[in-house]
Amino acid sequence: MFHQKKNNMADKNLIWNRTSAFIGVIAIVVTIGISWYLNREKSTILNIEKVSEILLTKPLDVKGLTSSYMYNDSIEVKNLWRTTFVIRNVGKKTIYGKGFPEQSIRDLYIPFLIKNCEKVLSVIISNENNEAWMAEQLNLGIVQWKPEEYVEITMLTDGDNPPNLIINDREIKDSKITYSVYSVEKINEKQKWIDYFPKGLANTLKWIIVVVMVFLFIAAVFTIPRMVKTVSKGQKVLTLILWAFFMIILLCPILWMF
């Protein structure tokens, strides 16, 4: 009887030691993941989103009716487009411009390149929250452009098609320029909880949770049979129920991750 109790104690100590080792490994993995996220190099990303495009000179389908348009009473216009873009800093770094000793931009301004049109009639800032301004020759002036701040650009152009607004990524230090088109469906999509986190943090959390779940699953596979053997018959059912509940809780993060 004494030897049986001694063996049971030894088995429990072995289970505890192995569980502690797994918990230690998990803690190390989580610490490494959080440290990597906090110390990683932040990115500079501008996203140019086309919000709307409207043909203002669409001809009426009336027999015998003709029309002509003049911009500022001097420029003949055939197909007048009003197009709106939102340029947003979706990266993690602030873009520094005029007035700072170490600018993020190559010159004093960020030049716009407008393609897919014949004439550029007007380019204005219709809204902004970073105090940007339009300089001459399609140049955007900034002082500081912080993450999530935006500039709304509205332009009038003449051409068969609506224009495209382009920024050369070499004009901004270590930057990436992305392009998108506004869609109501994107707003109506139901997001998972993890989608509300910043993208970099969300990806880091996904990998950390996956690794932790794998370690815990392996620990459970090796630990459950030994624990069931060491408890009395009356406690085996309760032990199995508790472990089943633990495994369900373990799998719950999948519901809000993927």
Amino acid present at 37: Y
Please give the C-alpha separations between residue 112 and each of 135, 158, 248, 250, in angstroms, as whole numbers.
Answer: 11, 17, 54, 51
pLDDT by residue (tens digit) across 18-33? 555 655 666 666 666 6
C-alpha span between 44 and 149 (Å, rounded): 13
CA distance 209 to 193: 14
CA 204, CA 148: separation in Å to the nearest integer? 20
Q: How far apart are CA 9 and CA 3, in angstroms?
A: 10
pLDDT at res. 66: 73
In the block, which residue shows the tokens 């049109």?
Answer: 117
Residue-wise pLDDT for 131-148, tens only, equals: 999 998 899 999 999 999
pTM: 0.63
Q: Report how far residue 127's alpha carbon sits from residue 141's, in angstroms, rounded to the nearest whole number.
A: 14
CA 38 to CA 52: how far, in whole Å? 37
Task: Tell me what percent of the residues of the chain surpass a pLDDT of 70.
Answer: 63
- Mind listing the pLDDT tens digit for each residue in 203-240? 777 777 777 777 777 777 777 666 666 666 666 676 66
Q: 65 Cβ partners below 8 Å, 6+ apart?
A: none
What CA–CA distance (Å, rounded) separates 16 from 201? Answer: 33
